[in-house]
């Protein structure tokens, strides 16, 4: 399977060619752990997971590295404002370490619920301070930095390629058109590699360095950690589109500035989730988390389906109606799958008919062309609705597609069918429907009726589970 991807560096769809045959090194910018992730952040991680799964499906051995930002990310992506974690700790009356630990755990819980594969390497910024100091030192040796006001800055005028990937306007850069609060900078686009206590006296996390006791600028960690785990040249770097003009631009300046050579082959960026036409953002205070969705009866897999229904490079408008449609579709899919499981065992893949292979080809074609998840989903639906394909084949082909989609399609054999009668199963489904429709009184009544028949139901983030009461 030849995978084609839209490379932000060059703005074209390109055939993916790894540096080492059969292997992929992929780095994705991870969360800043000062609060819960909102579902906009999670959209980006879902797209990155789709990319990883697609590459694995195409036969590559993927090493996926993700950082966790637990120091240095200021409330502004430039160098103004306050460290987000310090601010959150003060507001919540906790230590910075407690805040980082709490929200790191919450993040990994969220991504697990969403069926996102755990990265091969998860690395925390605070565990890599020596690597960051070494990288800043290399930049200093190469004459790409200056010291001012106790801080160490990257001097973009010494890196002629600055802004290449983001297509930043050179003239505008030279004129320094943007307003900048940090008077130490020679150019507003210069950025801090290391802050000393001269900037934030009360920063709780501090380390010794050649430039004084202090802490790293946010961009430094991604260059230092990606190169540590993936080498100084690797295949893919991802993130949300907001990272293109500042964070990723600065990462390139640091890494290519230090090595003097090209760093990353493919830059892949996911578009925003919008709330009322604006980017969903924690800073605006108007954001939705996975637990908010759970309260509305929307499961993580429903949200994953919602995201896959749009191409990752299109903006996606969040709305209750659209989410509800995705929820119904995803559950319809799961129901079809469990009915098929009642009818048949998945067929062996060699035994698939031409017809079902046709759907698989359509699916692969969609995914291979820049992760076309909407078309891939319609191939899955086409397969399931085709009365000319036997149940076992449908199951086999759908499970294969789901290796890439990562939806909760009840892959476990339904312990249900053989053990209880159809009437009981219908009641379980009816109760789930009532819950979805918000008719909790009816849902409770059905629960009681099931209990009297010896069946206990439990609502979990993965859907309603039931078991026989012993
Ligand atoms: P942060 O934790 O703020 O560093 O953001 C984590 C990831 O979420 C980054 O890759 C951002 O680009 C991405 N992101 C932030 N807001 C949105 C949004 N509304 N929609 C999609 N991705 C987003
Ligand atoms: Zn990053």
Residue 279 lies in a domain: no
Nearest alpha carbon, ligand 1 atom 23: 41
Atom 12, ligand 1: residue with shortest CA distance: 240
* Segments forming the whole domain that contains residue 164: 22-274
Q: Which ligand is nearest to the CA of 251?
A: 2
pLDDT, residue 95, reads 86
- Pick the atom of ligand 1 nearest to 272's CA: 20
Residue 416 is predicted with a pLDDT of 39
3-class secondary structure, 125: helix
Q: How far, in Å, from the CA of 279 to the mean position of ligand 1?
A: 9
Q: Do 257 and 306 fall within a single domain? A: no
Same structural domain for residues 427 and 400? no
Q: How far is the CA of 278 from the centre of ligand 2 (A)?
A: 23
Give the pLDDT score at 418: 41
Domain match, 95 and 35 both: yes
Residue whose CA lies nearest to ligand 1 atom number 8: 41
138 CA from centroid of ligand 1 (Å)? 30
Ligand 1 center to 245 CA (angstroms): 14
Q: Can you point out the beta strands (E) in 16-144?
A: 23-28, 61-68, 121-124
Cα(468) to centroid(ligand 2), Å: 48
For the CA of 242, the nearest atom of ligand 1: 12
In angstroms, the CA 195 to CA 214 distance is: 5
Residue 383 lies in a domain: yes
Same domain flag for 114 and 242: yes
Q: Which ligand is nearest to the CA of 242?
A: 1
Instruction: Tell whether 226 and 368 lie within a shared domain.
Output: no
**Closest ligand 1 atom to Cα of 33:** 2
Ligand number nearest CA of 287 is 1
Q: Are residues 249 and 353 in the same domain?
A: no
**The last residue of a domain, from among 379, 405, 431:** 405
Tell me, yes or no, whether 225 lies in a domain: yes
Ligand 1: residue whose CA is nearest its atom 11: 240
Question: Helix 440-452 crosses helix 422-436 at what angle (to 10 degrees)?
Answer: 160
- The ligand placed nearest to the CA atom of residue 46 is 1
To test the pocket of ligand 1, the residue of 44, 68, 70, 75 to mutate (highest count of ligand atoms within 8 Å of its CB) is: 44
pLDDT attached to residue 205:
83
Sheet holding 278-279, edge to edge: 278-279, 273-275, 316-317
Task: State the closest ligand 1 atom to the C-alpha of 274, by its place in the atom list counted from 1.
Answer: 19
125 and 36 together in one domain: yes
265 within domain boundaries: yes
pLDDT of 95-111, one tens digit each? 888 888 999 999 999 99
Distance 118 CA to ligand 1 centre (A): 18
Asked if the structure places residue 16 within a domain, the reply is no
The answer as to whether 280 is a domain residue is no
405, 430, 453 - which closes a domain: 405
Structure letter (DSSP) for residue 345: P
Secondary structure of residue 454 in the 3-state scheme: coil
Q: What's the confidence (pLDDT) of residue 409?
A: 83
Which of 377, 373, 409 has its CA nearest to residue 54? 373
- Round to whole Å and give the CA distance between 221 and 128: 8
Alpha-carbon distance of 155 to 168, in angstroms, equals 16
172 Cα: distance to centroid of ligand 1 (angstroms): 26
Closest C-alpha residue for ligand 1 atom 14: 41
Summarize pLDDT for 182-206 with one digit per residue, the tens.
Answer: 788 999 899 999 988 655 666 678 8
Give pLDDT, residue 157: 95
Residues 372 and 248 grouped into a single domain: no
The pLDDT of residue 318:
95
Q: How far is the CA of 40 from the centre of ligand 1 (A)?
A: 6
Beta-bridged to residue 27, according to DSSP, are 65, 237
Whether 359 and 449 map to the same domain: the answer is: no
Prediction pTM value: 0.86
CATH number of the structural domain spanning residue 128: 3.40.50.620
Same domain, 260 and 154: yes
Q: Which residues of the chain have pLDDT under 70?
A: 72, 75-81, 171-172, 174-181, 197-203, 410-422, 460-463, 469-470
Q: Are 133 and 212 in contact (CB under 8 A)?
A: no
Lining residues, ligand 1, CB within 6 Å: 29, 31-32, 40-41, 43-44, 239-240, 242-243, 272-273, 279-281
- How far, in Å, from the CA of 236 to the mean position of ligand 2? 12
Atom of ligand 1 nearest to the CA of 280: 19
Question: Of the candidates 378, 405, 432, which is a domain's last residue?
Answer: 405
Please give the tally of structural domains in the chain: 3
Check whether residue 435 and residue 375 sit in a common domain.
no
What is the atom index within ligand 1 of the atom nearest the CA of 279? 19
Q: Is residue 413 part of a domain?
A: no
The residue to mutate among 26, 40, 278, having the most atoms of ligand 1 within 8 angstroms of its beta carbon, is: 40
Same domain (yes/no): 261, 380: no
Q: Which residues of 257-283 are buried (b: 16+ CB within 10 A; e: fewer)?
A: bbbeeebbbbbbbbbbbebeeebbbbe
Q: How far is the CA of 29 from the centre of ligand 2 (A)?
A: 4
Whether residue 64 is contained in a domain is answered as yes
């Amino acid at each position: 399977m030849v995978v084609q991807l839209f490379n932000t560096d060059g703005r074209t769809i390109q055939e993916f060619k790894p540096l080492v045959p059969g292997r992929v090194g992929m780095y994705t910018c991870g969360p800043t752990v000062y609060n819960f992730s909102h579902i906009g952040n999670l959209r980006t991680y879902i797209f990155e997971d789709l990319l990883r799964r697609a590459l694995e499906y195409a036969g590559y051995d993927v090493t996926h590295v993700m950082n966790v930002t637990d120091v240095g990310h200021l409330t502004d992506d430039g160098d103004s404002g306050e460290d987000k974690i310090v601010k959150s700790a003060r507001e919540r009356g906790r230590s910075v370490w407690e805040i980082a630990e709490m929200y790191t755990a919450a993040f990994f819980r969220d991504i697990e619920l969403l069926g996102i594969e755990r990265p091969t390497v998860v690395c925390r910024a605070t565990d890599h301070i020596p690597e960051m100091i070494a990288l800043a030192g290399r930049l200093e040796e190469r004459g790409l930095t200056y010291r001012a006001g106790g801080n160490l800055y990257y001097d973009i005028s010494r890196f002629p390629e600055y802004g290449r990937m983001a297509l930043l306007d050179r003239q505008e850069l030279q004129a320094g058109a943007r307003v900048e609060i940090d008077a130490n900078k020679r150019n507003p686009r210069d950025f801090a590699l290391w802050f000393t206590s001269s900037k934030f006296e009360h920063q709780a996390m501090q380390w010794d360095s050649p430039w004084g006791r202090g802490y790293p600028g946010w961009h430094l960690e991604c260059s230092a950690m990606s190169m540590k785990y993936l080498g100084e040249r690797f295949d893919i770097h991802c993130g949300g589109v907001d990272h293109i003009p500042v964070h990723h631009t600065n990462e390139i300046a640091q890494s290519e500035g230090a090595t003097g050579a090209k760093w990353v082959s493919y830059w892949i960026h996911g578009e925003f989730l919008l709330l009322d036409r604006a980017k969903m953002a924690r800073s605006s205070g108007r954001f939705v988390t996975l637990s908010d969705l759970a309260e509305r009866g929307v499961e993580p897999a429903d949200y994953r389906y919602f995201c896959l229904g749009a191409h990752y490079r299109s903006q996606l408008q969040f709305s209750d109606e659209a989410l509800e449609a995705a929820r119904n579709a995803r559950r319809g899919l799961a129901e079809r799958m469990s009915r098929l499981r009642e009818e048949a065992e998945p067929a062996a893949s060699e035994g698939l008919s031409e017809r079902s292979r046709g759907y698989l080809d359509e699916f692969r074609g969609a995914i291979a062309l820049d992760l076309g998840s909407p078309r891939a989903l319609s191939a899955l639906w086409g397969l399931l609705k085709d009365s000319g394909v036997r149940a076992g084949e449908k199951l086999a082909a759908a499970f294969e597609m789901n290796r890439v989609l990562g939806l909760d399609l009840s892959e476990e054999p339904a312990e249900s069918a053989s053990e209880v009668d159809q009437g009981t199963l219908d009641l379980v489904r009816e109760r789930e429907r009532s819950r979805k429709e918000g008719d909790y009184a009816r849902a409770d009544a059905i629960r009681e009726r099931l209990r009297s028949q010896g069946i206990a139901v439990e609502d979990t983030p993965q859907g309603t589970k039931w078991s026989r009461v012993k």
